[in-house]
Amino acid sequence: MMDPIIEMTQIGQRARQAARHLSRVSGAAKNRALTAMAEGLLRSMDDLKRENAKDLDGGRERGLSTAMLDRLHLTDARIQAMAEGIFQVVALEDPVGEVVGMKPRPNGLMVGRMRVPLGVIGIIYESRPNVTADAAALAVKSGNAVILRGGSEALNSNRAIVKVLVEGLKEATLPVEAVQFVNTTDRAAVGALLRLDEYVDVIIPRGGKGLIEKVIADSRIPVIKHLDGICHTYIDQDADLDMAITLTLNGKMQRTGVCNATETLLVHAAMASACLPILGQKLKEAGCLMRCCPETLKHLAPFGGVAATAEDWDTEYLDAILSIKVVASMEEAMDHIETHGSQHTETIVTQDHARAMRFLREVDSSSVMVNASTRFSDGFEYGLGAEMGISTDKLHVRGPVGLEGLTTLKYIVLGTGQTRG
């Protein structure tokens, strides 16, 4: 293989060229390419499964866990789901070219903003090969060129998927460099990609916390990411009891290994006696472990609750474990969230309008909810159609990142010869 810096620079230059072209093609042309990509995946099932088998064999040799091997595995149903995901992106509105806020100035200038692609997006991800198709489809639909760097364990699968995607670009006569794959397991390639600030506009890491921390530390390019999902459900003093229990169970247990699962429950002291014994019973039945503050422990010891340690409040379990704390007020709940939260998603269960509005306004998270399960924090559930990930950053995009998050607004000015005096 070539020197990774030289190779990545060439990939970057080609991507920049392709991005310029892609920024001006019609939505119809982009949809033709995406449709050809999805149809290509459906036609190539046997090829994809054959290449995937090589990765599975390699993974077994390298001792990957059953869970990891399962995530890596491409079945007919999963390839169909990948294609279906692309068809859904086809159905979304093209965000590029929208003009907003066009207003006349006193001198007759019209000033507004136009939505345009970011340019070149670098995506660094692990394990699941479907990210390859999802990310490429979102990038192309939003007019961006994309550089894909998948995990080494999925190299053969990803390469085969990208081959199909590139055929789709060709069928629609779009530049094939709009979707490029870093076809090497050399780690130096990632370092080189993160320094391509001349050609790459944004880096999106998708994967474990270790990967994301490394990308943040090394990147010269702005990064869109979330690190942790320590999401809180807060049961307010006059919450509806049934709703409080239902939302807690759903937030924690509907799926535990995901970033928007509830990790900490905060219960107003006035609700503790009514709420905690019922919850303790139901959480126990559901197989959920409970890490409790001293006050909570009084109610939950009979259901297997144990004393929480200081670390519990800062831990994203990604498992059937819930930390639970009784608070004296909504202010104490908000202070706890401010200190221990990860600015991902928090929800209040309340019947009081004023407190609902205050929680909405004051809690500084990418998603803040009233009377809804934290599990809804997701681009598809929010109506974005699909998502590239979730951002807990404050700049550019906060919350699920859909097509709009892959674009920017530039100012446009229409004059009739005005000069500045």
Q: What are phi and psi of 270, to 5 degrees?
A: -70, -15
What whole-number distance in Å separates Cα of residue 152 and Cα of residue 205? 15
Residue 9 binds to its own copies (criterion: CB under 8 A): no
DSSP assignments along 206-237, one per residue = ES-HHHHHHHHHH-SS-B-------EEEEE-T
SS3 assignment, position 347 = strand
Nearest distance from residue 213's CB to its own copies, in Å?
13
With contacts defined by CB under 8 A, name the span among 123-131, 207-215, 240-248, 276-284 that binds its own copies: 240-248
Q: How many residues bind its own copies (CB under 8 A)?
A: 67
Strand 262-268 to 231-235 pairing? parallel
Q: In degrees, to the nearest 5, what angle opens at C-alpha 291 toward C-alphas 285 and 297?
A: 90
Q: Which of 55, 134, 201, 236 binds its own copies (CB under 8 A)?
A: 201
Q: What are phi and psi of 348, to 5 degrees?
A: -110, 140
Nearest distance from residue 106's CB to its own copies, in Å?
9
Measure CA 303 to chain center.
Answer: 35
Please, which residue, 183 or 408, has the CB nearer to its own copies?
Answer: 408
Beta carbons of 182 and 191 less than 8 angstroms apart: no
Q: Which of 80, 183, 246, 281 binds its own copies (CB under 8 A)?
A: 246
Residue type present at position 89: V
Residue 198 binds to its own copies (criterion: CB under 8 A): no
Residue 399 binds to its own copies (criterion: CB under 8 A): yes
What whole-number distance in Å separates Cα of residue 252 and Cα of residue 261? 5
Q: Which of 105, 170, 187, 209 binds its own copies (CB under 8 A)?
A: 105
Strand 145-149 to 179-181 pairing? parallel
Please, which residue, 180 or 350, has the CB nearer to its own copies?
Answer: 350
Residue 23 binds to its own copies (criterion: CB under 8 A): yes
What's the DSSP call for residue 375? G
Q: Which of 100, 287, 310, 420 binds its own copies (CB under 8 A)?
A: 420
Beta carbons of 120 and 19 less than 8 angstroms apart: yes
With contacts defined by CB under 8 A, name the span among 66-74, 161-169, 301-309, 354-362 that binds its own copies: 354-362
Q: Which of 5, 114, 278, 301 binds its own copies (CB under 8 A)?
A: 114
Nearest distance from residue 45's CB to its own copies, in Å?
29
Give the footprint of its own copies on this chain (CB under 8 A).
20, 23-24, 97, 103, 105, 109, 111, 113-114, 116, 118-119, 201-202, 222, 224, 240, 243, 246-247, 250, 254, 338, 347, 356, 358, 360-362, 364-373, 375-377, 381-383, 393-396, 398-400, 408-421
